[in-house]
Amino acid sequence: MAFIDGTALNVVLPSLQESLNASGSELFWVLNAYLLMLASLILIGGSLGDKLGRKKIFVIGIIIFMAGSLACGLAPDVTSLVAFRALQGLGGALMIPGSLSLISASFGHGERGKAIGTWSAITTMVTIGGPVMGGALADAGLWRYIFFINIPIGIASVIILWLKVKESRDERLNKKIDYPGAFTTVPGLALLTFAFLRLPDTGFQNTITILSFACGCTLLVLFIFVEKMSKNPMLPLELFSNRTFTGVNLLTFFLYAALTAGMLFLGLNMIQVQNYSQLQAGLTLLPFSLLMVAAARFAGNLSDKYGPRWLLIAGPAATGLGFLMLSFVKETSGPSEYWTTFFPGILVFGLGMSFTVAPLTSTVMGSVPTHFSGTASGVNNAVTRISGVFANAIIGALALLLFSSFLVNEMKDLPVNSELRHSILAEAGNLGNAEVPAGLNDSQSRVVEQAYRNGFIASYSKVMLICAGLAFLGTLMSFLFVKEKISRRT
C-alpha cells in the first residue's frame, strides 16, 4: 500500500494538479503532508510495536491508512486532499515498521538477508504496476482510483494477518510508554519538517519558518537528553554506538534523498516538458522495477554469504552514476527517443538500487538486538521519510529558485510591460506546468513558452547533479562505517 501510493502518485501529479487547480507549492504539500506525519510519528510506531505487539500495531496502522486513502479519493479540493494525506501518514507511521520488524524477529542471521530480499522482491512485484496503472488512470481522468486501490489490498492484508501471522513482541521490554520522549520527538520532528516544507514558498527570511526550525532543533536536542535519562526510552541511544547501524542510516538518508527528488523531477520532466503521456511515463520506470524484482533476493543472499560492505559501496555508486547520466538529457522528441536518452540512466541507477535495498535493510535489522527490531525499523524508515521531506523541500525550493533566475535572465530583453513581465515570472511557481499568460502576441508567446521549457530542463539537470552527489555521499558512508560481516547484537 505504501509503495503503490508513492510510485503511482508521482505519475498522476500533473493530472491531479490540473484537476484540483493546484499550484506547484500545493503539489509539494500533497506529497509532504503525508511525509510530515510519517516522519513525526514513525519512531513511535516502531517502539509501540516492540512493546505492545508488532502485529497489533501493524493492523491498526493498515486500518487508519485505508480510512485516509478512502478520504483522499473523495477529496473535493486540494486543501482537503492535503489534510487526508496527513491521515494516511498517521496510518503509515504505525504500519510501515511492522512488516520488517515481524520478519526480523522471525528469521535468524543466516536467512534474514534472503527473507528481506524476498520481501523487497514481492513488494516491488506488487508495485511494478503502480506507475503504469497510475498513468493509465490519470490519462483517463481517474486519478482518484490510485487511492481507492488501497481499500481491497488493506482488507486482504488484515484478514491474512489475523489468520496466519502470530503476534510478536519482546516480553523483556517494559510496556510503559515513553511519554516525555513522545512529547519532545513528535513536535520536534514536525516543526523541523514543517520549516523545510515552507522553504519553497517563504525562503529563509520568514519568521514562522525560522521559529519552526529553531524550536524543532531545540526539541530534538531535548529529546536526546530525555532518552539518555529515561529508563524506558523510545529510542535507545545505545543503538548508535554501533558504527554499522549509524553508517547505514546515514547511507539511507543521502541515498533516499537522491531517489525522492530524482524520481519526482524525472516524472515531471517527462510529462510536463518532454511530451510523454502519464501512462508512457509510468512505463518508463518498468526497467527499474523489473531489476528490483530480479536482483533483490539474489542481493540479499550475497549479503548473507559475503557481507554487505561491497554491495553497499558499489550499489549507491552505480545509483549516483545513473543520476549523473540522466542530468545530461536535454529536450527530446518524446517517447520515440526514450531508449537513447532516459533509458541508459534509468537502467544504471535501477541496477544500483537493486543491489542496495535488500543488503541495506538486512544490515540495519541485523545490527541491533532482536527486541529492538521494531525500533530499528522505525528509525530507518524515519530516516528514509525525513530525507524525502528534506529533499522535496530543499531541492524543490532550489529548483524554483533556479527556474525563476533563468526566467528573469531570459525575459530581460522581452519588450513587454511590467505587469505582463510579472505575470510571466509568477508562473515559475508551477515549474514545468507553467502557462503562457494572456496578453502576448504570437511571437512573444513562443519565446516565453520556449523559455519555460528551457528553464525547467536546466533546473532538472542541476537537480539530477545534486542527486548524483547525494548518492556518492551514501557510498562514502558505506566505505567509512560498514563492516565486512554483520552479527546481530544481543
Q: Both 294 and 394 in a single domain?
A: yes
Q: Both 340 and 224 in a single domain?
A: no
Q: Terminus-to-terminus CA distance in the chain, angstroms?
A: 33
Residue 171 has pLDDT above 70, yes or no: no
Average pLDDT over residues 130-144: 80
Q: Both 217 and 267 in a single domain?
A: no
Residue 411 belongs to a domain: no
Q: Which residue has the higher pLDDT, 388 or 78?
A: 78
Residue 442 belongs to a domain: no
Q: Looking at 61-70, 100-109, 224-233, 353-362, which range is the least confident one?
A: 100-109
Helix axes 357-366, 243-268, angle to 10 degrees: 150
Q: Which amino acid is at 35?
A: L
Q: How far apart are CA 255 and CA 320, in angstroms?
A: 9
Q: Both 313 and 201 in a single domain?
A: no
Q: Both 327 and 470 in a single domain?
A: yes
Contact 354, 289 (CB under 8 A): no
Q: Mind listing the pLDDT tens digit for each residue in 272-314? A: 889 898 778 878 877 877 887 788 778 888 888 888 999 999 9
Residue 72 belongs to a domain: yes
Query: How many Cβ atoms are within 10 Å of 145's Cβ, its own excluded?
Result: 16
Q: Both 183 and 116 in a single domain?
A: no
Q: How many domains does the chain have?
A: 2
- pLDDT at residue 490, rounded to an integer: 45
Q: Which range scores top for mean pLDDT: 42-46, 124-128, 272-276, 301-305?
A: 272-276
- pLDDT at residue 193, rounded to an integer: 75
Q: Both 195 and 276 in a single domain?
A: no
Contact 359, 297 (CB under 8 A): no
- pLDDT at residue 321, rounded to an integer: 98
Structural domain of 101 = 2-177+232-402+457-481
Residue 350 belongs to a domain: yes
Instruction: Tell me which of 188, 207, 231 is where a domain ends.
Output: 231
Residue 424 has pLDDT above 90, yes or no: no
Q: Mind listing the pLDDT tens digit for each residue in 226-270? A: 988 888 787 888 888 889 999 999 999 999 999 989 988 998 899
Q: How confident is the model at residue 128 (pLDDT cuts 50, 70, 90)?
A: low
Average pLDDT over residues 436-446: 85
Q: How confident is the model at residue 384 (pLDDT cuts 50, 70, 90)?
A: confident
Q: Tell me what the pLDDT averaged over the chain comes to.
A: 85
Residue 299 belongs to a domain: yes
Q: Both 122 and 188 in a single domain?
A: no
Residue 109 belongs to a domain: yes
Residue 298 belongs to a domain: yes
Instruction: Tell me which of 201, 231, 261 is where a domain ends.
Output: 231
Q: Both 61 and 32 in a single domain?
A: yes
Domain harbouring 351, CATH code: 1.20.1250.20
Q: Both 20 and 147 in a single domain?
A: yes
Could you write out the three-class secondary structure of the chain? Answer: CHHHHHHHHHHHHHHHHHHHCCCHHHHHHHHHHHHHHHHHHHHHHHHHHHHHCHHHHHHHHHHHHHHHHHHHHHCCCHHHHHHHHHHHHHHHHHHHHHHHHHHHHHCCHHHHHHHHHHHHHHHHHHHHHHHHHHHHHHHCCCCCHHHHCHHHHHHHHHHHHHHHCCCCCCCCCCCCCCHHHHHHHHHHHHHHHHHHHHHHHHHHHCHHHHHHHHHHHHHHHHHHHHHHHCCCCCCCHHHHHCHHHHHHHHHHHHHHHHHHHHHHHHHHHHHHHCCCCHHHHHHHCHHHHHHHHHHHHHHHHHHHHHCCHHHHHHHHHHHHHHHHHHHCCCCCCCHHHHHHCHHHHHHHHHHHHHCCHHHHHHHHHHCCCHHHHHHHHHHHHHHHHHHHHHHHHHHHHHHHHHHHHHHHHHHCCCCCCHHHHHHHHHHHHHHHHCCCCCCCCHHHHHHHHHHHHHHHHHHHHHHHHHHHHHHHHHHHHHHHHCCCCCCCCC
399-402 LR contacts (CB < 8 Å, sep 24+): 399/265, 399/431, 399/459, 399/460, 399/462, 399/463, 400/24, 400/200, 400/428, 400/429, 400/431, 402/455, 402/458, 402/459, 402/462
Q: Looking at 92-96, 320-324, 467-471, which range is the least confident one?
A: 92-96
Percent of the chain with pLDDT over 70: 93
What grid cell was written down for 372?
A: 529492538
Q: Both 222 and 242 in a single domain?
A: no
Average pLDDT over residues 108-130: 72
Residue 359 belongs to a domain: yes
Residue 489 has pLDDT above 60, yes or no: no
- pLDDT at residue 173, rounded to an integer: 58
Average pLDDT over residues 72-97: 91
pTM score: 0.81
Instruction: Tell me which of 231, 258, 276 is where a domain ends.
Output: 231
Q: Both 144 and 211 in a single domain?
A: no
